Amino acid sequence: MDAVSTDRVTFDLAAATVRELNAELHAPSSKSYAVLNPNGAHAVAAGVDTEITVDVRGHVGYYCAGMNDGGVVTVHGNAGTGVAENMMSGTVRVTGDASQSAGATAHGGLLVVEGSASMRCGISMKGADIVVGGDIGPMSAFMAQAGRLVVCGDAGDGLGDSIYEARVYVRGRVGELGADCVEKPMRDEHRAELAELLAAAGLAADPAGFRRYGSARRLYHFAAHNTY
């Protein structure tokens, strides 16, 4: 097997296709890539499964860095629907805002949105960490099974609806909580956990200003009256 170069490779999507880019990232000849002129293209850097660095210089469309497994992908701009969807490991960072379903079904890794994220952020997340520097929209962390969601701004209505064992930390205002989601005490271990997540995300915020939310566990068990 040929040695992987440490020289940065540049892909200009004004001249190359996303298919060509992703084919290279799936069998990388380098450890480092720059992607120019994404211009809202969909599925940029989807399916990365090695420890490479990808810097996307501009806005992207749907499912950027979907299924990421080990890569470090940075979007220097905004991201459309489903950024880091089904991520397994690695890091995805959006320096701007993210549209709906950011980090949906993600199993692992870290997603950082330095701006705000739209509705359904972290929907059905299964073990990833998501840190948002701004606000999140309605129905975020819906059916979130595991992992941590940190919100430095406000959270919309329906937060944590039908949540399982994921943990949610919010610094700002929270709208109406979703079904079975309740506020929980912030103990020392939670403040320590939150401090680590904020440090990993590179965001300066005092853990003392956050509140914690999670499952009341009322939906875990069968209840006869729910059959009517």
pLDDT digits (tens, 9 = 90+) for 166-223: 999 999 999 999 999 999 999 999 999 999 999 999 999 999 999 999 999 988 766 6
Asked if 87 and 109 touch (Cβ cutoff 8 Å), the reply is yes
| Structural domain includes residue 53 | yes
Q: Exposed, middle or buried: residue 80 (CB in 10 Å: 0-12, 13-18, 19+)?
A: buried
pLDDT in tens, 144-169: 999 999 999 999 999 999 999 999 99
Task: Choose the final residue of a domain: 105, 125, 141.
Answer: 105
Q: Are residues 10 and 91 in the same domain?
A: yes
Domain total of the chain: 2
Please indicate, yes or no, whether residues 90 and 134 belong to a single structural domain of this protein: no
Phi-psi region of 143 (alpha: psi -120 to 50; beta: other; left: phi over 0): left
* Count of positions (residues) in the chain: 228
Same domain assignment for residues 82 and 146: no
Query: Average pLDDT, whole number, for the chain?
Result: 95
Q: What is the pLDDT of residue 227?
A: 59
Q: Could you tell me the residue range of the domain that residue 8 belongs to?
A: 1-105
- The number of CA neighbours under 13 Å toward the Cβ of 114 is 13
Percent of the chain with pLDDT over 90: 92
Domain check: are 61 and 93 in the same one? yes
Q: How far is CA 174 from the centre of its chain?
A: 19
- On whether residue 186 sits in a domain, the answer given is yes
Q: What is the pLDDT of residue 1?
A: 34
Tens digit of each residue's pLDDT (9 = 90 or more) over 2-53? 567 778 999 999 999 999 999 999 999 999 999 999 999 999 999 999 999 9
Residue 85 pLDDT > 70, yes or no? yes
The Cα 163–Cα 141 span in angstroms is 7
Are 190 and 131 found together in one domain? Answer: yes
Going by pLDDT thresholds of 50, 70 and 90, the confidence category of residue 110 is very high
